[in-house]
Each structure stands twice: as C-alpha cells, then as structure tokens.
Structure 1
Amino acid sequence: MKTPNYIGGWKSIFYSLHVMREVGFGEFSKAIVSKNTCKTCAYGMGGQSGGMVNEAGTKLEICKKSMQAQLTDIQKPIPQTLWASESLDSLAEKSALELERLGRLNTPLYKKKGDTHYRPLSWAAAMEKLIDKFKACPPERSFFYSSGRSSNEAAFLLQLFARIYGTNNVNNCSYYCHQASGVGMKSTLGTGTATVQVHDIKQADLIFVIGANPASNHPRFVTELLHCRRRGGKVIVINPAKEPGLVRFVIPSDPRSMMSTGSAIASSYIQPKIGGDMALLYGIAKALIAQNQTNSEFISAFTDNFEAYSYFINGLSWDEITAQSGVDQSIIEDLAVQYANAENVVFSWAMGITHHRHGVENVEAIANLAMLGGQLGKRGAGLLPLRGHSNVQGIGSVGFTPTLKNQIFESIEKNLKVVLPQSLGWNTMECMQKAHEGEVDLAFVLGGNLYASNPNLNFAEKALDKIPFKVFLNSTLNSGHLKGVSQEALILPVLVRDEEKQKTTQESMFNFVRLSDGGIHRLDNCRSEVQIISELAAAVIATEHFDFRPFQQHRNIRQAIAQCIPGFGQMQKIDDTKEEFQIEGRSFHLPYFNTENGKAKFVVNPLPEQKKTDGSFRLMSVRSEGQFNSIVYEEKDSWRGTSHRKVILMNPTDMQNLDLQDGSPIAVKSAVGELQGFEAQAFDITAGCVMGFYPETNVLVGSELDPKSKTPSFKNTEVWIKKGI
C-alpha cells in the first residue's frame, strides 16, 4: 500500500508551476485573478471580488482543481487536419485525458448516420441543420440535459425554450449526484439546499464529513476543517476508505501548515461498511436518546414526529446496528458523546451518502440527527451537502428540472405571458430508458459528458445510439461524442465562463450568487451557449407565441430570472450595482423552516436491506485526485498511490484471501458488466469493500435507482473479483 505521508503542500505548488509553465504565466495569471467564478466545484470562489476570494472575503482561495480547469481551457484549438486523419474509432481508443488534451473545440462538427469521421461545418450550416431538426421533431420525443458548468442565464433560457417548444423533458446532472440531498432535506426541512453560509463553518466546533473526500474534490473546505481543529474543535470523518488527505493535509496558502509534514484533519476517522451509514447514524441517535443527551427544548418547540422516531430508534437492537454498520457499539457511543458536547455542529456530506438506493433515507437520517441535537436554525450549525460542479445548484434553482415548483411555474406564466406544458417530464435515467425504447428522436446536451455520467455503460451506449439526432455544446472533446453516436451528431464549440462576451451568474453550494465578467479572448470561432440557444429558440418558436430575440442579451435574461425565481429579486439590479447576493429564504439562522407549519420533521425509515452473496464485495466508484467529474487531468492518483486508472483498491486481508498482491491482474464482474485487464492494489478500506475509479467502473453499476430521488447506486454495487491471467 503506497500512500504518501502527507497530501497537498509543495506538491500542489509544484503543480501550479507546471500549469504556469505549460500555458504561460501571462495567460494563467490573467485567468485566475479575473472577476470570474471558479469553474470547478460549487464551494464558491471568484466573481466581483476577484478570482481568488470567497464569499466570506478570504483571499488566496485557490486549489489544484481550479488550476487543472485552466490547463484545459487555456489550450490551442484542435488542428483542423485531425478530423480527416482520426476516425471515431481511433478517437474512441484514446483515454479521457488524451481526448481532453487534444485541444479546444473551435469549429462546429457534424457526422451523419454511417459516417466514420466528424467533419467541420460552418456556423451557418450547423445552425440551419439544428433548427430544421427541431422544427421536424415532435416536442414529446425530445429531451434536454445540462451539466452544472453552464450559467444561470443559459440554463434558464434553455428550459424556457424547451417548455414553450412543448416538453418538460428537462433534466440535469444532479439526478446522478445530489438529487437525493434535495429530496431528503425537502422532506425534513422544506428546503433542498444548504442551511448554512460560509461564515457558519467558521463558527463550528464540530464538523461531520460523511461519505465525502473534500481533500480531493473540495480542497478549500479542508482549510476550514483545519481551522476548526486549530480553534479546538473536532472533525469526524465517516468513510469506508481512509483517504490520506483527510488524515493529514498541507494547506499551500497556510505558512504554518506548509512548515509541517501535514496538519491533522480528522480527529476521529470511522470506517463503516459500504451502505452502513444509516445504521451508524441511527446508532448515534440511539446512544443520545439512551443517555438523555438530546436537545429536548428544540425538539419540543421546533420539530414534529419525534415520538414516532424515538420509538423506532429505541426498537433497534445494537446487534442490528453494529452488524449493518460494521462499527463497534463503543465507538458509536463515543461519537454520540462528542456530538452532545459540541456547541455548534455542521453536518457535511457528498455522494458517499446519496449514491445508494436508500440515498434519500441517508440524508433524512443526517437531518434527524441534526434535529436531535438542536443543530439547526442557528448560526454556526446546520446541513451542508458538498455539491460538485460550480453551478449545479444554480441550474436547478432557475428551473432546469423536469418539474417546476408551483411558484416558479405560475411566475413564468404570469410574468412572461406564456402557457407552459403540464405533462410529466423525464428525469435523467428516464431519458435513457425512453431512448432505449426508441421514444426519443432528438437530444440537446448542454455541456458535460452524458454518456460517461451514466451507470451501466453498455446500456447507456445502446440507448444513446438509438437517438437519431444529438447536439452537444462543449469546449473539449470527450467520450460522449464518440460512444452511442452511430446516427447523426452535431458538436457546437462554446466559450468557457471567463471567455463570455457578456456577464453571467453562478450560484454556490451556500446559496450565494456571483457575477462573472468573462472578457478573456482565446479562440475565434466559439460561441456562447446563450447565443446558440437564443438563435435556435427565435427560429423555432413563432414571434407571436414568444419573442426570444431580446434574450440574446444576458441582462434581459437576468431580469426574467429576477421576476420568476423566488429569492433572486436582487438579480434585477446586479448589472448596475455589481452586488452579489445571498438568495433569500434559504439559510436558517432561526428555527423556522420552509414546511407547512414551520417545523422540522423527523422522518422514520427502516434500515435498508443489504443483501450480499458469499464471496462478493461492495464496490464504490470514486473520482481520482487528478479528476473533476468525468474530466481526467492526470492518469495517476498520487494521493492514493496508483499509477493508472485500471485499478481496484482493496482491503489487504481480502487480497491475501484471494492470493493477490499489489499489481496482480484481476477480473471484476457484476450483474450487468465485467472488467478485464484491471489490477488489485492494497488500500485502507473496510473489509468486504472495494473502490474503483469513475467512469471506468460504471460498466459494473446497474441502472437500479433510489425510488425517491431517481439516483443510481454508484457507491453500492455487488461485484465478484477473481485473479486474472
């Protein structure tokens, strides 16, 4: 097991020097100090205060992920000669990293059914083809998908066009990540987003990090974890895998940390079984209730349904709890004592919680535990889902969802004087299933990599292949342009955030809206997403029905958002004042919640069934250290000690039982797929659990969904491993 002594620090600084050297100091510095929101995670950085400032005013807020995004954005265009020399098949053989580093897309590309190559197309020809396809397609046989990197303006405009066009088949990448967080928080608190602001993190004396690896995916959050430890607080990490960056981390912007071999992050590191989080959370609740260490005043005054919840928790046996969680009773009871003794507690989590068939119930269990301790509705405490893409929360806020909230639906109809469809829209997996059944003729994919984001990649490729026409808006080439595209496909090259010719806005995971100036010129043949969408909408929708031409101006879209989206009223004046803002009605610093009676609600769910065949393992898919979502920046994962991506990380004892050593070839099989040519590598992970990289291991993940959030179970797949040849 080859993991480093510490994470971050000089390694991150050396990487930043590598990026500067590769893209040029001038280009790099111009990008990172510009008044644009960070392009990677939703933790929040940049905007009108400058590229390295967060919403609390803290400076030097930059991380390796931010730099990696610049490395791929500040590339030269892909040479025009490549499209004739490289077939789809030859491009498909390249790794995700190789595709990303071919350069930027800088011309529309098209292939018709049966073509072996993409060919460049003029913008006029590309738009004519796109417009003709939409005019010919029945709206109910189309769907619209968005990644979380697009702007609020593009997302609002596209969902509006889709609905006026005649369909609610509008969905986004959150269905494959944090949809369970929104559903679980809605059922307990009446809100779907974080209840805290950045300032609250700085007041916490206990922070739970559950099913997340922020050292890799949200590095600037780790700075707050370190500060919590330094002011005498505690950090409890709950994760089947012991991630080195959550044990010790060197903060590059912190001189004291840089002078050490790593600052301690986790004060307690608990490694349950995969799928055992709910049992562990229930165990903490059981100990609190038994020890009479709950906040009875808060529960009585500000919650409902505690009696049913308490009765259920008391009815669970410790044997059930410890067997399913894999954690000893004494350890769980100690966690309860730490929780009871804390003054201000923040619960944070990521997809290790949501990527289960009981993901919503996991989130509800976290909310229940927060209610037990009265750690809601006050400053310095609350719930924080650690969201991924930099505007994934924003695109949902502005309506890029299959079902609009009633208030938004009514506001759009009233203020924009349109009639919206009332049919049920498809979630992301429904779009794939409908495509597989031959019920989709056209797909509009706004950013991201829909193919690689899917579970069960064999199914995903077949489903996408049945769609007669797909249009992709991207800045670089990815596997989604090469898999499942045997029929017609059109790729339109887009400007990235700091290149936009007009200002755009983004929303952080803390419900804070930033304004990005754009303005950097790099390529000469890319267009903004809004320009493409507005031109398409104006050509497809008759002017007397709705005039999309004014929405070529981003300012006009922001005015519509301010009118139609609750909490976004301040967007109406943001162009003039440049004042970024906290969305109204989402942060809970008083114990009154967005439920019918204003009270938080305890929700009771039975422990999930965890069936396991003898000899099988539970697989969770994860991002590597050199990766952001489906974008791969480095093949190796220096933090976990892997040199390539075709690896399965295993408990050392499990490896011994299978007569495996580091580097042993293995075959991995699930109910839906099989991987050959992979290697085993020892890692500190709970026995019976294994870990592999996304999206490579997605071929093993089934299409079964959490019935409440419609999110796939990426983090809980039964697999069988055998020694290869």
Structure 2
Amino acid sequence: MGKDDFIGRKSAAAGGWGALKSCGKRLMQTGRPFSGARAMLKANQPDGFDCPGCAWGDPEHGSSFEFCENGVKAVAWEATRLRVTPDFFAAHTVSDLRNWSDYDLEHQGRLTHPMVYDPASDRYLPTSWDEAFRGIARALNAIPPDRAEFYTSGRASNEAAFLYQLFVRLYGTNNFPDCSNMCHEASGVALTEAIGIGKGTVTLEDFDRADAIFVIGQNPGTNHPRMLADLRRATARGAKVVVLNPLKEKGLQRFADPQNKLEMILGGSEATSTEYFQPRLGGDMAAVRGMAKVVFAEDAAALAAGHPSLLDLAFIETHCHGFETWRAAVEATPWSLIEDQSGLTRDEITRAAHVYLGAESVICTWAMGVTQHRHSVQTIREIANLLFLRGNVGRPGAGLCPVRGHSNVQGDRTVGINEKAPKALIDALERETGRPMPRRPGHNVAEAIGAMLSGEARAFMGLGGNFARATPDSALIARLMRGLDLTVHIATKLNHSHLLPGRAAWLLPCLGRTEIDRNSKGIRQIVTVEDSMSMVHGSGGINLPASKELRSEIAIVAGIAAATVGSGAVDWAGLADDYDLIRDMIARVLPAFGEYNQNVRKPRGFRLRNAASEREWNTPTGKANFSADPLPDQTEWQRIQQEPGLFVLQTFRSHDQYNTTIYGMDDRYRGIYGERRVVFVNPEDLARTGFASGDRVDVIGSQGSDGQIRIAEGFRLVPYDIPQGCVAGYYPELNLLVPWNAYGDKSFTPISKSILVSFRPAAG
C-alpha cells in the first residue's frame, strides 16, 4: 500500500447506500446471509432479541423494522458459521496467538468448548464444565476474596449481572471493576450529585418534542446510528440541533435513511444538525459556561427593558439549590478564559446560547467526548446547570441524556454491579439470602489495576468484554494479567485478554444474545436489558446455538457460584433453569422493578421510575443542585502552548468497530480504507511539523507520572478537519498511551480524550 493509498473518498452523508453495502458485506461474511437477514428482522421486536449494537432506546411502536448498520454488524459478528474448536487451540500456542491482530482473532469464529490452559504446552486444552467449575472454585477459595477482581461487560443481561454480583458478594468482596468505569462513570457521579440519580431523565419520545437538542462530544453515526433518525426527524420538523464536537463527523451533518425508498433512488439525504461548533479537546465546560454567561446577560437586558425574566425563576426557587453561588462563578469567569479553553469565539458561543434561549424545551445529550477528561464530572454538572436555568429537567421534550455504549451497561449497574453498593442494596441482599454481605467499598477498574500492580490482586474473572484491550496502559495490563494466579473469561469469541493466562486459566464459551436458550423443560428463556432511557425489555434469541457445548452466561455464573460458595443460601441450579425466578428475586431486592415478569412481557417492556424526571430530587439537599466549580486551571490544550511539539490526543472508534471488536479495516465516513494505525491531524499542524500526509510516525505519550515511556509505533498521519493542537486516533491501538492512573476527578474514568503526545519519524 502506497503512502496515501489508504485515504479515499469520504461518504457524502451517513447511512444511504454505503450503509446497505456494508450490511450486505457483513452478512455475506457470516456464511449465512439469509439467516442473518432473518435475524435482523427480529431485532428489537417483542418476540425477538435486543440488538447488542448499542443502548439507544427503541421506539414506542416496538413492532417496527428498527435496526441499523451497527446492529447488522453486531448480529453478523455473532452469527458467523466459523468456529474456534479444540483443534484450533491444538494447532496454535497462546504465545503464537498473542501476535495476531484483534481483527484476526475475533474473525476465527465462535468458541465451542470449555478450555483450560496448560502451561507446559502453552495451549488451551478441552475440559468438561464440571471440571472447570471445580477447578475455578479451588483457585478462588485458595485466596482471600478481596484479592480477586470480578469484571463485567455491558453485554451481560440483567439476570446474569444480578447473579454475578450475588455470587461475588457471597464469596466476600465488592471488587467490581466494570466497563462503565471506563466510559460513563463521570455521568453517574455528576448526575447523582446534581439530580439524585446517575441516569438520564429523558425518554425517546422527548426527542420528538424538543425544540432544541444539544449534542455534545458524541458521534452517533459510528456509536449509535439509530439516533441519527431521531436527529433528522427533529431538524425536519423545525427543531434546532446544535453539535459541539472537535471533529467534523458525517453523521452529525447529514443522514440518508436506508429505509426511505425514494431517498435511496434519488440519492438524497437530510440534515441532522442546524449548527456545528468545533471546540478544542477539553473545552466543552468553558463553552457551556459561556452560554450561561450569555443567558445571564440577555436576562439582565430583558429585565432592564421591563420584560419578564428569561429564567424559570419558579423552578429555580422551588426545585434548586446553590443558584446564586453558581451565578457569581459564571459572572466572574472572564470571556478571555472561556474563549481560550473552548476554542470557540464569543460570537459562536452567543449563537449557541440564542438557540437555547429560543427553545421552550431543550435536551442536552453527550457521550465519551465529555466523560473522558480530568474535569468530566465538572463539565456534566455545568451542562445540568445550564438546563436548570430554564427548567429544562422534568418536563416533556427536555432533560439530560447521557448516551451509553453497550446495550446493558446501565442495567448492570442498576442490578448491583457497583463497587460502592448502596446500603439499601446490601441490606436487601442480606434479607434475601440470610447471609452477611461485605460492606467495604471494592475496586473499580483503575483501583483493580493498581491492586494488580502492587501484587494485592491475585485473580481476575471477566463476564464478557476484553479487559486487556479496553483498559488504558494496555502493555502494562498484559504483563500484570499474566502474573496472576487465576484468570477466567466467559466469552463468545477469542480476544487478546484470553491470551494472557494466569498460572491457572479457563476460557468458558457462552451463548450469544441472538441464540436460543432453552431450559431443562425445553422452554425458550428470555433475558432483559435496560437502555439509556431506563426502558427494560426482554430479549430471546432465535438462532441455533453455535455449539451444543455452549451454556448461557447465567448457567456459567451459577455453576461457578455453586462450586465456590455452595447452594445453602441460594439455589443456583434452580435459578439457572428458570430465569423468571431470578427476576422474582431481583424484584424482591430492588422493588423498583415491580411485577418484573409481567412488565417485561409487555410490548417494549417498561420504564424504571426515574424520580428526577418527575422533579423529585433524591439529593442531600432535597433539591436539584447547581454546581459552582471553576473552569480548570489549565486544559491540556493550554498546556501544550507552552511546550512546542506536543499535541492533545483523543481516542475513538472507527466506523467499522464496536468498542474493542474490529468488524473491518475501513472507516468510510472519515475516508480511511484498509488501515487502522492512523492519526488525524489538522492540516496546518501537519505542515508546521514538517511531516506530510501518509508519513509514518511513532506516537509518544508525554503524560505518565511514573517515568515510563509509552510509544505507539508506526502510525500514518492523516489531514482532517480538527482544531489545531488536537489529534485523534483509534482505540484499542492507542490505549497503551493512556496511563492507568491518569483519570477524571471523582470518576476514575481514563482521560482518553486528553492525552499529551508528540511525534517522531517511524523507524524505516
């Protein structure tokens, strides 16, 4: 491949024929294109399965043909006819497989048999389920519980996650490093402080009622494409959609609906935004504060002219705490600081503020572009402050909307995957089981890594996911995991985490979301998930299992639990054979689920009560809390102005991946083909450095406090529309540049959107 051969024409709009071609390509790769297409017809349907592609909500008309390109890719990835059998492991040592790419590993197909690691041959060998459960139990019971880490991926169902936390707490620890620690933990912390619940307050229907939607630090086209249809409908009916994103992203500009026949024939598309601003990395808080500053100035002018206040004073007086303190902080913040940190001009911020002021109902929505900075909690608090000003929380068409990634990352936290469990949850679990539960806070992801580094942690169990590639400091994590006494992975496909075995290691294959799960009576079982709008709905697979040896995540967790802690307090086998019993237990422990089994069998399921959306504030003040946090003393972008040669890096997904899963090597929305080791750079920065488009460089991390040099080798430079001083590239390839102990205030979320880096010519 030549120096620039990987750069091609970008899509004119998101969706359209490009999406259909990509869907067709992925379905053909399964070897079962017709069954894959049939499966998609059952995605997000009352009698089908929940799409594993993202956590965006489903429409009220739950019987609609509602899926997207990402959903097709996720289903095709899972429904492949390729298999990773014991013969595959007999042909390859673990050391050999570690040299394979993420893409090549996962495209070998579905795992088929439980496997145990043999250090002598450096291979995984087949084992029986009973032998695996007994071996894992022996290893766990040989160490103190607080020295084991229990990771959860957001792909796990409510039922699997609930059983997992129940088992782990009966075992004796609250060590629950979770995928949410690496993405939306800042949202949970900030919203709990602000409104008393760590979730968004909107429903999907609110997007049809909003007069203005602010999309901050997220890229729906790649991460949750179904949202694009909602943004497109909003602009079509006259609502304003304001984007704040450092990169120009196709999906946030125009969307061609693949399900609109006339549009596909004519090659048309419609706008998904009405205003697009490009703040510097880390500049969102300053931009939002600037908007508030404009609102206060306009309000003062209105009052001086004898007009009513532009603020919702009744809401502020009745429902809010700390308003005057925050107002003083806003008015004391100089415009020079706001402009420098945000990278936006006062005129641009004023335009955004006028959209806010001109709208009766406003939604603010955000993702990891906001949550993965040091000051992410403060930024989300500032977003909440802005909405409080005009009463835009707790009424139709308005509210706060963090958009999660994995389809059940929110549900896992709801049912107890929490290293700092609420007292009420522990009390309820003790009543349910009659056994004492640990109450000391456990480890999140960053703390789990620290415990591995110190030697405190000796065991790791992963309920799905790819911990070693999803975490920061991936080279360090690989070394640490190989030094553990025990590693256990429950998974559908092979990934790099499985190739870092501890002294004892098991790889346990599970059913996927799309596969039929029957109990001992032959009855088809369903599981449940919770989306970003607090909707809980059922999911039942329709495809035959990839192997007769596969067990559900629930059955695997129950088998490990029974072998490790016994069945005296919990009938693990009974629960694994009837998921209704698990839901009955969840409802007893968490009364918000109500008549769980009845509710979840209704079309589209049911919504968990969200007190803040009803203007009930479960905070220490009993009100929604304004926050008077100052802007950061210095953003990373401001720091690099004093250190020539440095840039601020953000990591993100390509369009052909989902989290650490690489579906393909193209990123057509950004014009990249057949290549992933790329860094997007402002053209003027590229010229200033003396490099040219397509040059290969090593990317050097410049942020570790431990003296370690972190280098990502051999990345191509690509000119792109991004603010000067800011650069971007794909994870997991660039995760090794993110120090494990560089995380957000209060949240422990990795600062993967604000990493200081420099470039040097790549060797050769």
TM-score of the alignment, normalized to the shorter chain, above 0.5: yes
Q: Distance in 2 between matches of 1:44 and 1:115?
A: 47
Q: Distance in 2 between matches of 1:283 and 1:535?
A: 55
Is 1:712 equivalent to 2:750 in the alignment? yes
Q: Summarize the alignment of residues 299-338 of structure 1 with structure 2, pairs less than 5 Å apart.
A: 299-338=316-355
Q: Distance in 2 between matches of 1:638 and 1:466?
A: 40
The alignment-based identity, stated in percent, is 34
Please state whether the residue corresponding to 1:118 is helix, strand or coil: strand
Contact 2:537 2:600 in 1 (8 A): no
Q: Distance in 2 between matches of 1:579 and 1:238?
A: 32
Contact 2:79 2:514 in 1 (8 A): no
- Could you tell me which amino acid in structure 1 is paired with residue 606 of structure 2? F
- Could you tell me which amino acid in structure 1 is paired with residue 700 of structure 2? K
Bigger shift: 213-222 or 290-299?
290-299
Q: Which residue of 2 aligns with 1:504?
A: 527
Equivalent of residue 165 in structure 1, options 162, 171, 190 = 171
Q: Summarize the alignment of residues 469-548 of structure 1 with structure 2, pairs less than 5 Å apart.
A: 469-482=486-499, 484-485=500-501, 487-499=503-515, 500-501=517-518, 502-522=525-545, 523-548=547-572
Q: Distance in 2 between matches of 1:323 and 1:57?
A: 46
Is 1:651 equivalent to 2:660 in the alignment? no
Q: Which residue of 2 aligns with 1:226?
A: 232
Q: Which residue of 1 aligns with 2:415?
A: 398
- Could you tell me which amino acid in structure 2 is paired with residue 698 of structure 1? N
Kindly tell me: are residues 548 and 121 of structure 1, through their superposed partners in 2, closer, same or farther at Cα, counting changes over 3 Å? Answer: closer
Q: Which residue of 2 aligns with 1:12?
A: 19
Equivalent of residue 287 in structure 2, options 280, 300, 305 = 280
Q: Distance in 1 between matches of 2:597 and 2:447?
A: 35
Please state whether the residue corresponding to 1:272 is helix, strand or coil: coil
Q: How many aligned residue pairs are there?
A: 715
Q: Distance in 1 between matches of 2:476 and 2:12?
A: 41
Is 1:355 equivalent to 2:372 in the alignment? yes
Shift of 1:16: 2.3
Contact 2:174 2:420 in 1 (8 A): yes
Please state whether the residue corresponding to 1:360 is helix, strand or coil: helix
Equivalent of residue 198 in structure 1, options 192, 201, 204 = 204
- Could you tell me which amino acid in structure 1 is paired with residue 685 of structure 2? D
TM-score by length of 1: 0.95
Please state whether the residue corresponding to 1:72 is helix, strand or coil: helix
Equivalent of residue 436 in structure 2, options 396, 405, 419 = 419
Please state whether the residue corresponding to 1:65 is helix, strand or coil: helix
Equivalent of residue 311 in structure 2, options 294, 304, 315 = 294
Q: Which residue of 2 aligns with 1:346?
A: 363
Q: Which residue of 2 aligns with 1:27?
A: 35
- Could you tell me which amino acid in structure 2 is paired with residue 188 of structure 1? A
Shift of 1:412: 1.7
CA deviation vs aligned residue, 1:368-402 (integer Å, no higher than 9, x gap): 11111221110110011010000100000000111
Q: Which residue of 1 aligns with 2:306?
A: none
Please state whether the residue corresponding to 1:669 is helix, strand or coil: strand
Q: Which residue of 2 aligns with 1:50?
A: none
- Could you tell me which amino acid in structure 2 is paired with residue 702 of structure 1? P
Unaligned runs of 5+ in 2: 1-6, 43-47, 300-309, 519-524, 703-708
Equivalent of residue 651 in structure 2, options 603, 616, 621 = 621
CA deviation vs aligned residue, 1:30-57 (integer Å, no higher than 9, x gap): 4223311111100134xxxxxxxx3454
Q: Distance in 2 between matches of 1:681 and 1:715?
A: 18
CA deviation vs aligned residue, 1:697-718 (integer Å, no higher than 9, x gap): 1111122111301111011000
Contact 1:504 1:518 in 2 (8 A): no
Q: Which residue of 1 aligns with 2:521?
A: none
Bigger shift: 627-636 or 130-139?
130-139
Kindly tell me: are residues 376 and 226 of structure 1, through their superposed partners in 2, closer, same or farther at Cα, counting changes over 3 Å? Answer: same
CA-atom RMSD in angstroms: 1.8
Shift of 1:593: 2.5
Contact 1:562 1:572 in 2 (8 A): no
CA deviation vs aligned residue, 1:476-503 (integer Å, no higher than 9, x gap): 0011112x33633210000012223321
Is 1:148 equivalent to 2:151 in the alignment? no
CA deviation vs aligned residue, 1:388-445 (integer Å, no higher than 9, x gap): 0001000000001112122222222223322111122111111111011111222110
Q: Which residue of 2 aligns with 1:129?
A: 135
Q: Which residue of 1 aligns with 2:691?
A: 660
CA deviation vs aligned residue, 1:207-239 (integer Å, no higher than 9, x gap): 111000001111110100000100011111101
Is 1:557 equivalent to 2:582 in the alignment? yes
Equivalent of residue 661 in structure 2, options 623, 631, 636 = 631
Q: Which residue of 2 aligns with 1:49?
A: none
CA deviation vs aligned residue, 1:58-106 (integer Å, no higher than 9, x gap): 7221111111111121123224322122222322222211111101000
Shift of 1:114: 5.5
- Could you tell me which amino acid in structure 1 is paired with residue 40 of structure 2? I
CA deviation vs aligned residue, 1:187-210 (integer Å, no higher than 9, x gap): 110011110111111111211110
Contact 2:49 2:542 in 1 (8 A): no
Shift of 1:115: 4.3
Q: Distance in 2 between matches of 1:153 and 1:472?
A: 18
Bigger shift: 647-656 or 573-582?
573-582
Q: Summarize the alignment of residues 370-385 of structure 1 with structure 2, pairs less than 5 Å apart.
A: 370-385=387-402
Please state whether the residue corresponding to 2:123 is helix, strand or coil: coil
CA deviation vs aligned residue, 1:336-374 (integer Å, no higher than 9, x gap): 111100121110000000001111111111111111122
Contact 1:309 1:602 in 2 (8 A): yes
Please state whether the residue corresponding to 2:84 is helix, strand or coil: coil
Shift of 1:556: 1.0
- Could you tell me which amino acid in structure 2 is paired with residue 690 of structure 1? V
CA deviation vs aligned residue, 1:551-587 (integer Å, no higher than 9, x gap): 2221111101111124211314347767721102346
Q: Which residue of 2 aligns with 1:48?
A: none
Kindly tell me: are residues 125 and 97 of structure 1, through their superposed partners in 2, closer, same or farther at Cα, counting changes over 3 Å? Answer: same
Contact 1:177 1:711 in 2 (8 A): yes
Q: Distance in 2 between matches of 1:404 and 1:254?
A: 46
Kindly tell me: are residues 530 and 309 of structure 1, through their superposed partners in 2, closer, same or farther at Cα, counting changes over 3 Å? Answer: same
Equivalent of residue 409 in structure 1, options 426, 438, 460 = 426
Bigger shift: 539-548 or 686-695?
539-548
Is 1:71 equivalent to 2:71 in the alignment? no
Kindly tell me: are residues 115 and 325 of structure 1, through their superposed partners in 2, closer, same or farther at Cα, counting changes over 3 Å? Answer: farther
Q: Which residue of 1 aligns with 2:739?
A: 702
Q: Which residue of 1 aligns with 2:302?
A: none
Is 1:567 equivalent to 2:592 in the alignment? yes
Please state whether the residue corresponding to 1:497 is helix, strand or coil: coil
Bigger shift: 14-23 or 639-648?
14-23
- Could you tell me which amino acid in structure 2 is paired with residue 719 of structure 1? V
Please state whether the residue corresponding to 2:479 is helix, strand or coil: helix
Q: Distance in 2 between matches of 1:620 and 1:65?
A: 22
Shift of 1:170: 1.8
Contact 2:484 2:502 in 1 (8 A): no
Kindly tell me: are residues 547 and 232 of structure 1, through their superposed partners in 2, closer, same or farther at Cα, counting changes over 3 Å? Answer: same
Kindly tell me: are residues 436 and 709 of structure 1, through their superposed partners in 2, closer, same or farther at Cα, counting changes over 3 Å? Answer: same
Shift of 1:601: 0.8
Q: Which residue of 2 aligns with 1:87?
A: 93
Moved over 6 A (4+): 575-579
Bigger shift: 121-130 or 667-676?
121-130
Shift of 1:14: 1.8
Q: Which residue of 2 aligns with 1:721?
A: 759
TM-score by length of 2: 0.91
Shift of 1:25: 4.0
Q: Which residue of 1 aligns with 2:305?
A: none
Unaligned runs of 5+ in 1: 46-53
Bigger shift: 73-82 or 682-691?
73-82
Contact 1:44 1:55 in 2 (8 A): no
Q: Which residue of 1 aligns with 2:304?
A: none
Is 1:601 equivalent to 2:625 in the alignment? yes
